[in-house]
Amino acid sequence: MTEMVYGSSPVPVTEPVLPRWWRTIDKWTLTSIFVLFGLGLLLGLAASVPLASRNGLEPFYYVQKQAMFGCMGLAVMISVSMMSPGNVRRLGVLGFVCAMILVMALPFVGEDHGKGAVRWLSIGGFSLQPSEFLKPGFVVVSAWLMAASQQVGGPPGKLLSFGLLCIVVGFLAMQPDFGQSALVLFSWGVIYFVAGAPMILIVGITGLVAGGGVIAYGASEHFARRIDGFLSPDIDPRTQLGYATNAIQEGGFFGVGVGEGQVKWSLPDAHTDFIIAVAAEEYGLILVLIILALFGLIVVRSLARLMSEQDTFTRLAGSGLACLFGVQAMINMGVAVRLLPAKGMTLPFISYGGSSLIAAGLTVGALLAMTRTRPRDRMSDVFRRSGR
């Protein structure tokens, strides 16, 4: 009777956060990430023991640290995946600004850790690589600018994002970190392409990148040495590429057996940049194909879900993040089999590295947030789209 007099209506029941998250998340992608992390711990048990022995530490010291940082990365991934695209955009902008400030500070307070490139900051006994966090932040900011440029009266987002790209690549090249620069360039190109860039412009930008590579070859001894080593017809068996190539050949289809591999005792970066060589030697081509399939599944499913996305920012940011994740894995494995020059890049969720694991969790968390299923054709969605 009260409802008839005052016209009140029942209060809508709001679905709890966790059940709604579980119902809308891409479970195949989520499961694939957990499998990759498990494989990373398995390979870390073999690859990091020699390093711990050389440094006088407990045998599983680096595995324990990898598990700790990996759990932190997974926690970040799940937390970010629960956010709305709008909140992911805010987090991405804030993260990009903070990471950019740290990257700009590297020439003054950074360290090279004997790698020939100033990429790390030492904070409270831990090493932080700001460029790992810069990449997903840059993708989100670029997608936001390009999406805004498609609105009536919007800013010149494509031009602004290109200017931002030049600044980011310039600071990364100063380290020098040409691998991360290539990733940033590729991700921006993907976003620009999805946003509707003409093909002639993409070709022109590709030509500029190639010209920049020629200039870098002449100006950077570090870059030239890696290119020369890649183009050389002969592989020095005493180099990392030589050890990795031999390990992959020795592994064959089924590997030499768990714990029987020898490359981990020779490669200083067996637990990071060349972890796939350890997998190929001890477990063979079978495990390598499984890892490839998992990365491929994550990228293909994400892009397929984004094809039906109506929000421009979500579609652009999700495409950039998916390709960023997949191409980083492709570069890491391509270096190990000598399809690409050495880049010093980790394999997401498998290689050891605190910055890499947490940044990978941030990247995939944002990607999962973008690819969650959302209700379609509600009147509120229609009004919101018509009001753009």
pLDDT of 296 strictly over 80: yes
Tens digits of residue pLDDT in 203-257: 777 777 777 777 766 766 666 766 766 666 666 666 777 788 888 888 888 888 8
**Residue 1: predicted pLDDT:** 42
Work out the average pLDDT over 272-298.
Answer: 93
Is residue 2 in some structural domain?
no
**Residue 241: predicted pLDDT:** 77
Torsion over CA: 89, 91, 96, 101 (sign): positive
Is residue 296 in some structural domain?
yes
Tell me the whole-structure pTM to 2 decimals. Answer: 0.88
Report the Cα–Cα distance between both ends of the chain, in Å, rounded: 42
**Residue 237: predicted pLDDT:** 63
- Count of structural domains within the chain: 1
Q: Which of 164, 183, 128 is nearest to 326 (CA)?
A: 183
pLDDT of 26 strictly over 60: yes
**Residue 176: predicted pLDDT:** 79
Tens digits of residue pLDDT in 28-71: 999 999 999 999 999 998 888 888 888 888 888 899 999 999 99
**Residue 381: predicted pLDDT:** 45
Is residue 224 in some structural domain?
yes
Work out the average pLDDT over 281-308.
Answer: 94
Is residue 11 in some structural domain?
no
**Residue 366: predicted pLDDT:** 97
Is residue 49 in some structural domain?
yes
**Residue 272: predicted pLDDT:** 83
Is residue 12 in some structural domain?
no
Q: Which domain holds residue 256?
A: 19-371
Query: What's the pLDDT band for 3 if we cut at 50, 70, 90?
Result: very low
pLDDT of 377 strictly over 90: no
Is residue 378 in some structural domain?
no
What does the mean pLDDT of the chain come to? 84
Tens digits of residue pLDDT in 143-197: 999 999 988 888 898 899 999 999 999 899 888 788 888 899 999 999 999 988 7
**Residue 316: predicted pLDDT:** 96
Is residue 14 in some structural domain?
no
pLDDT of 387 strictly over 60: no
